[in-house]
């Protein structure tokens, strides 16, 4: 008795890519299953028609415009990464320069009376909240 024939075996048989050791078993199975044999034969005819129609296209050279489109893909990615790095460095430099110029003015030491007068002025201002 032959091993079970899978759909994979049938497709490989139709494509002519079935190993020789399985070829006889699949041929025998197809002889016992005429509906599947007819289906696989139609697959084989379709594959042959496609090969005869399009095999010449496989031998044609790749058009130059497609080769150009493929070549710079890597270069474009590298340029894009370099651009983002440069932009980040420029933004960091500008932000650093801005923060550097915004240094707080040094606190002037004041005597106790001046500090007390400032606190009183703030407490008496009309915008301060009163409890």
pLDDT value of residue 1: 43
Question: In the chain, helix, strand, coil percent, each to 5?
Answer: 75, 0, 25
pLDDT value of residue 131: 47
Chain CA centroid to CA 49, Å? 36
pLDDT value of residue 117: 83
End-to-end alpha carbon distance in the chain: 101
pLDDT by residue for the chain (131 residues), tens only, comes to: 457 899 999 999 999 999 998 999 999 999 999 999 999 999 999 999 998 999 888 889 988 888 877 776 677 888 889 999 999 999 999 988 888 777 666 666 668 788 888 888 888 877 655 54
pLDDT value of residue 82: 94
Q: In terms of Cα–Cα distance, which of 38, 34, 28, 33 is closest to 1? A: 28
pTM (two decimals): 0.45
Domain ranges of the chain: 1-60, 63-100
Q: In terms of Cα–Cα distance, which of 49, 10, 55, 14 is closest to 29? A: 10
Q: In terms of Cα–Cα distance, which of 84, 69, 71, 11 is closest to 42? A: 11
Spatial neighbors of 41 by CB under 8 A, at least 6 apart, are 14
pLDDT value of residue 18: 92
């Amino acid at each position: 008795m032959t091993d079970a024939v899978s759909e994979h075996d049938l497709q490989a048989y139709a494509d002519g890519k079935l190993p020789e050791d399985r070829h006889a078993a699949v041929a025998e199975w197809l002889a016992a299953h005429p509906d599947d044999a007819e289906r696989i034969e139609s697959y084989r005819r379709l594959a042959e028609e496609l090969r005869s129609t399009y095999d010449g296209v496989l031998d044609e050279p790749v058009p130059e415009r497609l080769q150009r489109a493929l070549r710079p893909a890597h270069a474009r990615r590298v340029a894009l990464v370099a651009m983002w790095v440069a932009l980040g460095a420029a933004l960091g430099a500008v932000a650093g320069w801005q923060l550097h110029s915004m240094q707080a003015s040094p606190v002037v030491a004041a005597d106790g009376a001046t500090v007390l007068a400032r606190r009183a002025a703030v407490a008496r201002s009309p915008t301060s909240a009163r409890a």
